[in-house]
Amino acid sequence: MGSDDTKTGRSGKVKFFKVDTSGDIHAAVPRGPEEPHKLNSTGTDLHPVEETSKFILERDEAQDGFITKQLGRLKSKLDDIAKVPTEENLSRGQVDTLKKYIELRDLEARDLRDQLRQYQEYLKKVSTQFEEAIKMNRELIDKNDTLKRDRDRLQGELAGFEEKLRTEVAGVRSEYEQRVTASGGIQNEIKGLRHEKEEWKEKVKSDLKRIKLKEKELENKYELLKRDAQALLDSKDKHVLELKKKGDQLEMDLESAEERLRGSAMILGAIDSKKRRLVETMKLAISLLEDIDRDPSKEHSGDQIKKKTG
């Protein structure tokens, strides 16, 4: 069978390999650990596609050779069977031969169908990779054109930079020559600057001395101010305590004054009450006197009223 791993015939065991169609065609025929690395006629590595194609051809040739060999062995027997009259029965060996021939033909047909399917799948994957290679080649061509444009642009910029650099180098060289010519005056100027530097050093030293003396004077003044401030703070604290005591005393005096005011208010209330009662009594007495003046018989009742109000 084309789908079996092995097929046993009279001549022994012959291997039938299958192409791996589940992945990339480059991995269709993995090398076994015992299989040496294949090289082409020039001694270089075979391309994975070429290696796969070569392996498939060798496999198909092995399969076709095995089937052809088996059919060749059966051909003479089939010729003998063909000479047997149709009215005679075939022997058991002849029937087995015919069955074997039919099986081989069926095996050949199935192997051819399997090979056709594998070739179609293989060609489909090769076409896909070929299209991808074309697409990649186009992208590389575009990148190459872009790189060429960038190269031309950079070459132009480099030429401009080189020209600018040459101009600047010439200017620097001219300026250097002028400065070398004027170096004599610069040396004299350097000497004057050194002398001025020494004078500044002496001046800085004297200024530092004056600053140190001033720092000492300021430190002494600071200590005096610190003591004065402490004394002021102490006297302020004492004054605050005295004011607090006076405030407490004033609060106590206010509380006692409030008590006296409340007592005076009570006394004034009692006096007001007596005053109202006295006024009412006087009004009543006046009315009685007026009544007595009009009617002397009421004098006795007026005396009784006086006793009651007295």
Q: Clarify whether residues 47 and 145 are in a common domain.
A: yes
Q: Could you give the CA distance from residue 150 to residue 158 in angstroms, rounded to a whole number?
A: 12
The total of structural domains in the chain comes to 2
Q: Clarify whether residues 143 and 200 are in a common domain.
A: no
Q: Are 51 and 152 in contact (CB under 8 A)?
A: no
Q: Are 293 and 302 in contact (CB under 8 A)?
A: no
pLDDT reported for residue 123: 85
Buried b (16+ CB within 10 A) or exposed e, 24-56: ebeebbeeeeeeeeeeeeeeeebeebebbbebb
**What would the two tokens of residue 106 be?**
């069926």
Q: Is residue 264 part of a domain?
A: yes
Q: Could you give the CA distance from residue 237 to residue 224 in angstroms, rounded to a whole number?
A: 20
Q: Clarify whether residues 66 and 161 are in a common domain.
A: yes
Q: Clarify whether residues 26 and 133 are in a common domain.
A: yes
- What pLDDT tens digit does each residue of the chain (310 aa) get? 333 333 333 333 333 333 333 333 333 333 443 344 444 444 444 445 555 556 666 666 665 566 666 666 665 555 555 555 555 555 667 667 777 777 777 777 788 888 888 888 888 888 888 899 999 999 999 999 999 999 999 998 999 889 999 999 998 888 888 777 777 667 777 888 888 888 888 888 888 888 989 888 898 888 888 888 888 888 888 888 888 888 888 888 888 888 888 888 888 888 888 888 888 898 888 888 888 877 766 555 555 555 545 5
Q: What is the CA radius of gyration of the chain?
A: 69
Residue at which a domain ends, from 154, 175, 196: 175
pLDDT reported for residue 248: 87
Buried b (16+ CB within 10 A) or exposed e, 110-126: ebeebbeebeeebeebe
Q: Clarify whether residues 17 and 146 are in a common domain.
A: yes
In terms of Cα–Cα distance, which of 130, 80, 70, 79 is closest to 100? 70
**What would the two tokens of residue 207 be?**
């200024």
The residue segments making up the domain with residue 226 are 186-296
Q: Clarify whether residues 93 and 223 are in a common domain.
A: no
Q: Could you give the CA distance from residue 218 to residue 80 in angstroms, rounded to a whole number?
A: 141
Q: Clarify whether residues 89 and 194 are in a common domain.
A: no
The one-letter code for the residue type at 161 is F
Q: Clarify whether residues 61 and 161 are in a common domain.
A: yes
pLDDT reported for residue 141: 94
Residue at which a domain ends, from 155, 175, 195: 175
Q: Clarify whether residues 112 and 157 are in a common domain.
A: yes
Q: Could you give the CA distance from residue 224 to residue 230 in angstroms, rounded to a whole number?
A: 10
Q: Is residue 1 part of a domain?
A: no
Q: Clarify whether residues 216 and 101 are in a common domain.
A: no
- With a threshold of 0.75, does the pTM exceed it? no
